[in-house]
Amino acid sequence: MSNGTRPLVAVLSGAGISTDSGIPDYRGPNGLWRKDPEAEKLVTYAYYMADPAIRRRSWRMRQDGATLRAQPNAAHLAVAELERSGVPVRVITQNVDGLHQLAGMPDRKVFELHGTARAVECTGCRERSSMSEALERVAAGEEDPPCRVCGGILKSATVMFGERLDPEVLGSALTVAKACDVFIAVGTSLQVQPAASLAGTAAQHGARLIIVNAEPTPYDEHADELVREPIGTALPALLRQLGDETG
């Protein structure tokens, strides 16, 4: 448990926390994968590396996508507000949109399990640069911009299908799950491993487990509290209550 007088709150966020910001859920009833099964190839490492046509389409998708234009919503802002109030908060996110940081969460307190869509990475030399700069090159006519350092293939700094999670980020997330007093899983189906197992780990280590999600999850039976209300109103109310309890 946390060493300080105030409990350590861990927030595991999934796609559901960002839908109010206009970012579609990939796996939901209206999700991208259901509407366009071919779209999954655009974020599959083997296809992306092998096929220039898929890379060109991926860059167009990034240009047209809602992620980089999105703004934090009430749920993201509530998490950052709790952290600012003095409660120790750590965010573990399955999202790549960077909205927790835009809302005011310090970067070092956010663990991005699936990377970030706000940066690009060279698959050769691992040089990182900003996504907005890469998209400017695409807009200027480079359909598949190569790395400016080594000429290698650039990709979004997200974890694609077929790539493994960063073991350091995952290790930090596991440490947080074991140490926290309250673990809130919000907007996640808790079906994608290893992220989902963090909820079970937290519960096993004595954390109060709260699940905020419209649909049932495999971890509901371990939860101390289930919230089925819309995230945009339910999470801010829940975090205000937590802040009052621990103030």
Residues identified as active-site: 114
Cis peptide bond prior to 7, omega within 30° of 0? no
Inter-residue contact 223 to 210 (CB < 8 Å): yes
> How many Å apart are CA 81 and CA 109, to the nearest integer?
13
Residue 19 DSSP class:
G
Look up tokens 């970012």; give the residue. Answer: 23
> How many Å apart are CA 27 and CA 84, to the nearest integer?
33
Q: What are phi and psi of 29, to 5 degrees?
A: -55, -35
